Structure 1
Amino acid sequence: MWEAPVVLAATPIGNLADATERLRLLIRSADVIACEDTRSTRHLISALGERTDARLVSLHEHNEAARSAELVGQAREGTRVLVVSDAGMPAVSDPGRRLVSAAIAADLPVTAAPGASAVPTALALSGLATDRFTFAGFVPRKQAERRALLKRLQREEWTTVLFESPHRIASTVTEFSEALGPTRRAAVARELTKKYEEVLRGELGELAELLTERHRERGIRGEIVLVIDHAADDAEPSLTLEQAASAVVQSAAGGERLKDASKRVARENRLHASDLYDAANRLRGGSG
């Protein structure tokens, strides 16, 4: 049963029927269960109708470094350590990576019991290319990191999968539409495997309008996965940032608002609108 002292096991991302028999056996036989949230894991065990004598300990971003060393030490002494997250596969945008690294460094066998995961599920349902894809984790909240992501996506040759908060998905898709162009295809998957599962597919511009309306009318709830199509073969911008800034200034001189011109020219040339606005504002002398 225990092929290795440390086993990472995927838990259901919504539908409890996705729990594997292997997960159930591991829960019953573990000595220690390291989990993202002990309360959530206790609830899961109860909901599955399982029982365990294992000691549940927390393993989250704030204690993973210290807890990993502790768990590796216990595993070396024969303790059977099961690692789970609140949903999906541990170590994939969830705690577990540091523990795996610590086990490898200690020459301690570690394996995984696969199962449900939001990343391949959303990718498969998106209708976008699946032969080559990249997972970029959560959409960054810091502006500099978001700009770096969008610059990469402007020329990305692979489909990209991201996580996003339901409270920010409308503004994020709107921002992506402005930076990547409204015709870039995408999919927004919500509440995967749950009762109200929904997958919205279309162009970024269309999705931005739909999500903005929903957010305004009744809000958006649930776990969200955003899938972005790869860039078109001709994704190289036709104008450099400097050339585009000059075009924006010329449009502004003709009466168009600088911000509106920046968005339009950025969309036409697959540049980031805020970068272009800043460049045009500098070129115009900072008068706004």
Structure 2
Amino acid sequence: MRPAALRPALLAAVLLAAVAAVPAALHAAPEGPVAAAADPAMAKALADPRRDKDRVRDAYRHPAETLAFFRIKPGMTVADYMPSSGWYTRILVPYLGDKGTYIGLTAGSATASAETKARLQAFPASFPAKAAAWTGVPEARIPAYTLDAIPAERKGTVDRVMIMREVHNMWPDNLLYNDLAAIRSLLKDDGLLGIEEHRARPDAPASYTLGTMGYMREADVIALIEAHGFKLVGKSEINANPKDTANWPDGVWTLPPVLTLKDKDRARYEAIGESDRMTLLFAKRP
């Protein structure tokens, strides 16, 4: 195994290579908005009263269309990386149904500080109860793991893994190498990795796109994920927002829902809405 200190340099070299042109056909979701809206199981999940506070963000996150683009269907086993406060948990658990499985994942703790390591290691025990309270499903049906402690019997059993707006944290926190290797081990041979990420302008400077501002260039994200054993199979503009200039001095958190500047120019930022986002789909490479 290569020394960890060499990995950032190797990955930086990967980013210098141009990303191959993607065929136009890959830009379209395999199941469009009409198909997603017509899915009665999805419509029921989105209408659940437990989502009453979440629903305001549907216009920016397009959950039905995004999950359709990721080719997620009831009965599948789907793992959600860093589920945070459970926005997608409250959709996926009921949508996957009794025959499906939702798995909560958090980062491996090998490179974490002592405080962060303790928090990550507590996740497998604490998350199922939270998810059960959010969804009404027994916690025994909602497994959770840190990515450096995946049970052997779980490997190769997952249909889809989702990483939603977390690559900008994984990159500067040195999590990509270990966590993506673990994600590959979880996925079935035909499993897919869906990624949504805040999108920087293609010509944004490196100082703005290393993750600390929340934005990353699409070409960089594709190169990083492909360098870790995946191949891009689709990209979509489902979560695009052309109003976002993606050059805010305070980063992506200038925009809703965080609104870092509080009441300063609040109406302006609320009119823009949430960030411009890339939505990407990857398959495992042999």
Question: Could you say whether these structures have the same fold, taking a TM-score greater than 0.5 normalized by the shorter chain as the test?
Answer: no
TM-score after normalising by structure 2: 0.34
TM-score after normalising by structure 1: 0.34
* Structure with max Cα Rg: 1
